Amino acid sequence: MSLGALHGNGSPRVQEFYGSVDAMLVVGSRLRGHETMDFNMKLPQTLIRVDGDASANGRGYASSLFVHGDAALTMAALADRLAGKMAIDPGFAADFAALKSRAGQEYRETLGPYQGFPDAVRAALPRDGVWVRDITISNSTWGNRIFPIYDPRNAVHPVGAAIGPGLSLGIGAALGAGGRKTITMVGDGGFALGMNELWAATQEKAELVTMVMNDRGYGVIRHIQDALADGRLFGDDILNPNLEGLAALAGMPFFRISKAEEVTEVLQKALAVSGPALVEVDMVAIGPFPPYAPFNTMGKHAERAAR
């Protein structure tokens, strides 16, 4: 039983579930601000942590008990100690499955015109394909949380929340994947910080599709400033190059997605290319990305929701 990466930020139902449990065992997790509403999410008072890094004790949240050790070894030892001693409520599995289903559907409904993207991209990417992301809005909302992953080593993203390494990470992942197809999803703002690496992808013949979520600016900055600066926007507009022309300069095929219904078909065509390809997702044509948690309940976003 697992909620996957639907960790509670933006999901009131998951937060309610956390409030119903007696204790939480956190194994190898950073409990980052991104997942905990900047450390404001209420977690159970009894919080037991297992981590290979001793400095993780008390990071972000206080630990009731901290075990400094290898996660796999510690969990195996714990399973041995608990064998035959568990008395789990017979109805828990069904209740948990229902919780996961409802929470997932409710969360998808917050994504507006992009709620079908996780399944559409997954349908295009081969099961053994590699899914790489930059720290763009699309990743923070659905790329990290509800995109189906079938192998933990087939997913790559910057856990330090760096903006801009998505293309470089994608090239490295594609070259290390032994010919398996790779998609790297980047925002236009982050892409601008390393777009010159397209030539590296061409030179190395990387089996990589770079999917640029293009909203013509720093969408995350707009959302934050609407929430925290009373809608006073500064530094959110950027002058983007023509991506089709950029792909031509880099010597790779170009594709554009202008409707949500086109995602799977267009990505399949791009993935069929031998070597790298560039795909632009026209977010202006598809529609604006809704404000996301925790900013959607703050500032101008809260005012708009109340109207």
| Distance, CA of 262 to CA of 277 (rounded, Å) | 17
User: Is there a contact between 278 and 240 (Cβ–Cβ < 8 Å)?
Assistant: no
- For residue 162, what pLDDT is reported? 84
User: Is there a contact between 179 and 149 (Cβ–Cβ < 8 Å)?
Assistant: no
The structure tokens 């801009």 sit at 164
| Distance, CA of 301 to CA of 292 (rounded, Å) | 9
Q: Each residue of 133-143: pLDDT tens digit?
A: 998 999 989 99
Which residue, among 168, 210, 159, 208, has the nearest Cα to 187 in the 3D structure?
A: 210
Give yes or no for residue 70 having a pLDDT over 80: yes
Q: Each residue of 151-171: pLDDT tens digit?
A: 989 999 988 878 899 999 999
Residue 209 to residues 27, 119, 132, 245, 300, Cα–Cα distance (Å): 33, 17, 10, 16, 36
Q: Where are any strands of DSSP class E within the chain?
A: 23-27, 46-51, 65-68, 130-133, 155-156, 182-187, 208-214, 254-257, 277-282
- For residue 191, what pLDDT is reported? 96
Q: Each residue of 220-251: pLDDT tens digit?
A: 888 888 888 888 988 888 888 999 999 999 99
Tokens read off for 128: 């053994």
More confident residue, 302 or 97: 97
| Distance, CA of 257 to CA of 283 (rounded, Å) | 9
Of the options 3.40.50.300, 3.40.80.10, 3.40.50.1220, 3.30.450.40, the CATH number for the domain spanning 12-87: 3.40.50.1220
**Domain 110-306 -> CATH class:** alpha beta
Residue 158 to residues 7, 92, 148, 285, Cα–Cα distance (Å): 18, 35, 18, 28
- For residue 221, what pLDDT is reported? 84
Mean pLDDT throughout 26-42?
A: 89
Cis before 294? omega within 30: yes
The structure tokens 């559907």 sit at 105
User: Is there a contact between 294 and 40 (Cβ–Cβ < 8 Å)?
Assistant: yes
Mean pLDDT of the residues in the chain: 93
Same fold, 12-87 and 110-306: yes
Residue 258 to residues 122, 197, 281, 283, Cα–Cα distance (Å): 18, 25, 6, 7
- For residue 114, what pLDDT is reported? 97
Which amino acid is located at 118 in the chain?
P
- For residue 251, what pLDDT is reported? 98
pTM: 0.90
Mean pLDDT throughout 85-93?
A: 91
Strand pairing category for 254-257 and 130-133: unpaired
* pLDDT grade for 25, boundaries at 50, 70 and 90: very high
Domain range annotation of the chain: 12-87, 110-306
Strand partners, 256: 280
